[in-house]
Each structure stands twice: as C-alpha cells, then as structure tokens.
Structure 1
Amino acid sequence: MNNPKPVAALVANLNPENMPSLQVAQPVKVDANTKQVINDLFDRLKGLYPAWKQAWPTDVELRAAKLEWLAEFMRAGIRQLEQIQHGVRMAAKDRSAFAPSPGVFVSWCFAPEAFGLPDAERAYKQALRNTHPSQTGHCTWAHPAVYHASVAAGWYSLQRLDQSLGFKRFEQKYLEQCQKLGRGEVLSPSPVAALPEHAGPRTPEVGRAALAMLRKTVAGGK
C-alpha cells in the first residue's frame, strides 16, 4: 500500500478546470486526482476538529460538503498552493472543536499573512495613524493593500467610528485587497511620504545671523 501523500503536496495538483460548480444541474464528475486532493484535505480537517460530525453527520452530507468546498475554491479564485497551505495552518491554530464553513476556510486562505502582509490588527493601527490629519503627506504605508483598504473604509470613518466598528469595517476592506492579490491583481502603489525640506547648512555664522535677525525684529516691535 502506498503511503498517503501530504495534503499540501496534493493541493498543488488542484486544477480549477476540474472543479465542479454546484450550479450545474447535471451529475457532477470529479477526476481521480481532484477527488484525492479533497478527500485528503477532509481527512486532515477531521483530525483537527473532533466534532466534525456535527457538520457532516452522514456520508451523503460529507460527499455534498466536499463538492461545496471544491466549488467555493473555484468561486473564490484560489489558485496558489501557498494559499491552501496557509488555510490548513490557520485551521491547525483554530481552538474550535467544530469544523469551519467553506467560507471561513477560504478567508483563512486569503489571510494577510499568506502574502507576507501585517495581520489585520497591525494594519488597522497603521491605518488609524496614517489617516489622522496631522499625518497628511508625511505617512508611509507597509503595503499598498493597507493604503487601499484605508481608502475603501473611509479616512473620515476610521477616525470617528468606535474602534470595534472601525476595525470590523477596515478588516473587511483589507480582506478584499488580499483577495485581489490572491487572484494575481496588481495594486497601484500607495503615496510616498514627502521628504522634509532641506534646512540648509548649520554653522555658527548661520546661527548668529538668525539670532541677530530675531533681536532686530523684537527691537523693532517695541
């Protein structure tokens, strides 16, 4: 008997063209390779979630769930092995005993960390700082995704909403930017902070001249 292959290795062979759509009313045909991928993925999920039978109590429901997950992967535009790997890693960190919905798992695949970006909390803190009026023209952004999420969330709203509501709004827009990256879209660059004006040479002569000018101004005002 062959040793089972790791889920990550099998996911590399996921072919979107072979993923069935649940909207098709015809009998669904899944090629052997894709079937192996999804079966191994679900075996891994069963190992991570002791209460998985709450979601898939019968074989019929389990088979239907596998088709639903395949269709959700296709709809979400998941194309990279790293995304699936990250979803599995996030599942391994999940403390729930109950299996996630396909939508939740897909959101894990698009989590910012999968693209080397700051997590949502750190990105939100930067958004709050950079959207303050005092930072206009002087802020730097960790990644264009953080900037575009801030714009989409609304700079005014981020500054005035309660932080729990503001974070929820920002997180949604941030995830949308991550989904664009996952689909291979290129985000336009974020603005570059203006460089400070050159103050000129600093020498004792310059300092004495400035002091003399200040004294002259003060004396003239008396």
Structure 2
Amino acid sequence: MKSVNQLLASAHNLPAVETVQAVPVSAETTAVVNALFRKLRGIFPAWRQAWPSTEALNAAKEEWIQGFAAQGIRSLEQIEFGIQNCRKAQKPFAPSVGEFIAMCRPGPECLGMPSAMEAWIEVLMGTYSHEGVHLAARATGLFDLRGARPDDKGLRQRFDRHYAVILLRAQAGRPMEAVIQIDQKRRKTELQRADEHADRQVQARMIQQGIPADGAQARELLMATLGKRNIS
C-alpha cells in the first residue's frame, strides 16, 4: 500500500474546473484528497470536532473537492503549501475548506512580490520591483498614475483591484499578462462607446445649426456663406 507522500508525489494536478456543479472526480483526485485528509488528521488532534463520523468525513471530502475546483486550487504544490501552513498554525482543530484554501495561497512575499501598500508606493514613484506591479500599473493606466497623489482613493482602489487579480493569478500559477489583455479589451470597448457618443453629439449640433451632414453640401453652404461675406 502506498504511503501518503507517495500518493501526493505520483498523482497529477486536480482537474481544472471552472464551475462548482458537476465536478468530475477521478481516481487520482480521490487519492489526493484521501491523502490530504489523512495528513490533516495527523496534524490536528481535535479533528473529530469537524468530522465526527465516517459520513461527515466523506461529506467533507466532497465539499472540499467542490471548493478546490471553485477557488482554483488545482495543483499539488498549492495543496502542499496549505499543508505546510497547517503545521505552522499549531492549532488542535482542523480548518474549514475556506480556511485551508486561504492557506494554499502564498502571500505576495512568498512570490517575491511587494505588499499592496508597497506596490502602490512603487507605481507612484515609477519603479517596479516585480513584473506583477508593472502589469497592475499598466492595467490601472500609466497616464493616470503619472503625477497621482498618494491619497487618491479612487485610483488606489482601481490599482488594488488589478494587483489583487494579478496576485491571485500568480498564486494559481497562471499567466499574469492575461489581466492586461482583458483590461485592454474592456478599455477599447469604453473608448468606442465614448467615440460613438461624441459623434452623436456632433451630429446633433450640426442639425441644430442647420449644417448638412453630407460633405459636398457642407462645402456648398460654406462657399455660399463666404460669398455673401465677400459681397458685403
């Protein structure tokens, strides 16, 4: 019979599932979760408070699989990181699925990234200690950040939101550049809407002032106006 460490070492990543419903559970996923719960029972002596019976334990495993899929916990590295944090916690009671998921996500310092406050100071100074900070600045808007005040709450909230998304992607081992691509598409749509609104305003003013929308007619009107001025 394989040990817990062997199971964790031989199993592949958990399935990449975007929704909580109808999560496929493979034999490998089952082995990983069973191994995880055996480790948790070894770490937390009061684990029976959370899982007092076999039925409760099995129900918890199903709930944790759903939670992992919904929150992007898909790799053995993430689970192992959570186990390490459980050992550091030095608590008798087992964590909930939400608490364990939080433990699976390394903080920015573990990824070589600054905290949100430190990152905000960096973008105001125009210096970036990590590519993730630069990407968050680009997503926020380099022009807007240029000359921004430290107490600009709206801009700070916008930057924090982008930086949080980039941090989550880094924690999940996903490419951070996708945040820029998504934001650029969103901004392009906003600019298109702004241009369309400006065009409608110009057309409305032209109608109010009796200016023809057709180029040739507008030229004739201009020439006629200039001719009248020359005669007078």
Q: Which category of TM-score, normalised to the shorter sequence, fits these structures?
A: 0.5 to 0.7
Structure 1 unmatched ranges of 5 or more = 191-222
Deviation at 1:23, TM superposition (A): 3.7
Deviation at 1:37, TM superposition (A): 1.5
Residue 175 to residue 67, structure 1, CA distance change in 2 (3 Å): farther
Counting only pairs closer than 5 Å after superposition, residues 125-164 of structure 1 correspond to structure 2 as 125-130=117-122, 135=125, 137=126, 139-145=127-133, 148=136, 159=151
Residue 187 to residue 34, structure 1, CA distance change in 2 (3 Å): same
1:91 corresponds to which residue? 86
Aligned partner (choices 31, 43, 46) of residue 51 of structure 1: 46
Deviation at 1:57, TM superposition (A): 1.5
- Equivalent pair of 1:51/1:98 in contact (CA under 8 Å): yes
- Give, in whole Å, the separation in 1 of the partners of 2:53 and 2:109: 33
Deviation at 1:43, TM superposition (A): 0.7
**Match of 1:8, as an amino acid?**
L
Q: Deviations over 1:92-148 (max 9, x none)?
A: 211322211212222222223697334xxx52352353255xx2x3x2233415862
2:175 corresponds to which residue? 185
Return structure 1 stretches of 4+ with deviation > 6 angstroms. Answer: 149-152, 155-158
Q: Which has the higher contact order (CA 8 A, sep 6+)?
A: 1
Quick one: percent identity of the two aligned structures?
29
- Give, in whole Å, the separation in 2 of the partners of 1:188 and 1:157: 28
Deviation at 1:30, TM superposition (A): 4.3
Structure 2 unmatched ranges of 5 or more = 181-232
- Give, in whole Å, the separation in 2 of the partners of 1:113 and 1:47: 29
- Equivalent pair of 1:15/1:34 in contact (CA under 8 Å): yes
- Give, in whole Å, the separation in 2 of the partners of 1:157 and 1:4: 56
- Relative to the length of structure 2, the TM-score reads 0.55
Aligned partner (choices 87, 112, 118) of residue 117 of structure 1: 112
- Give, in whole Å, the separation in 1 of the partners of 2:52 and 2:138: 42
Q: Secondary structure at the match of 1:16?
A: coil
Q: Secondary structure at the match of 2:67?
A: helix
Residue 35 to residue 126, structure 1, CA distance change in 2 (3 Å): same
2:95 corresponds to which residue? 100
Give RMSD over aligned pairs.
4.0
Q: How many equivalent pairs are there?
A: 169
The reply to whether residue 60 of structure 1 matches residue 52 of structure 2 is: no
2:187 corresponds to which residue? none
Deviation at 1:150, TM superposition (A): 11
Residue 144 to residue 40, structure 1, CA distance change in 2 (3 Å): same
2:9 corresponds to which residue? 9
